[in-house]
């Protein structure tokens, strides 16, 4: 998975996880509500692949407060690693959808996404 984080200072940080040559980008996750604070694109190499916030992604574990789901994508965020536990589903409409708050603020530990088209 490739992650691009934008810090509030405007600096851009790139991190790559091994094995993610052609990742599909599903949206942007934000540290703060109303799409604020540090942000990061989130992606997976294959549809419906479970991505846990561990290793290089551990910064995001239990820290997501808002989301932007790109057009025609659907993502499920889970309270535990390995896509287990309570989950919330977010769907991007035809122009994408911003969720200014999420039901489980600062509680997600993994996600999986699929394209609806």
Domain with 33 in it: what CATH number? 2.60.20.10
Q: Cite the DSSP H helix spans in the chain.
A: none
pLDDT of residue 23: 86
Name the nearest CA neighbour of 103 among 116, 90, 85, 92.
Answer: 90
Length, in residues, of the chain? 117
pLDDT of residue 21: 55
Give the start-end residues of each E strand in 18-72. 24-32, 36-44, 51-52, 66-69
Number of domains, the chain: 1
Q: Which residues does residue 27 pair with via DSSP β-bridges, in sequence order?
A: 42, 69
The answer on pLDDT for 4 being more than 60 is no
pLDDT of residue 20: 41
Domain span holding position 84: 2-115
Predicted confidence band of residue 18 (pLDDT cuts 50, 70, 90): very low
**Half-sphere exposure of residue 84, counting CA atoms within 13 Å on the CB side?**
3
Name the nearest CA neighbour of 27 among 88, 103, 109, 95.
Answer: 95
Summarize pLDDT for 36-94 with one digit per residue, the tens. 999 999 999 999 999 999 998 899 999 999 999 999 999 999 999 999 999 999 999 99
pTM: 0.81
């Amino acid at each position: 998975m490739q992650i691009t984080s934008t810090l509030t200072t405007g600096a851009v940080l790139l991190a790559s996880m091994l094995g993610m040559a052609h990742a599909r980008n599903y949206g942007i996750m934000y540290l703060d509500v109303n799409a604020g604070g540090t942000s990061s694109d989130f992606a997976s190499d294959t549809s419906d692949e479970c991505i846990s916030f561990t290793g290089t992604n551990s910064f995001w574990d239990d820290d997501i407060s808002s989301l932007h789901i790109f057009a025609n994508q659907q993502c499920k965020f889970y309270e535990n690693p390995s896509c287990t536990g309570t989950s919330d589903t977010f769907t991007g409409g035809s122009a994408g959808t911003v969720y200014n708050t999420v039901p489980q603020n600062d509680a997600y530990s993994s996600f999986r996404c699929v394209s609806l088209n």
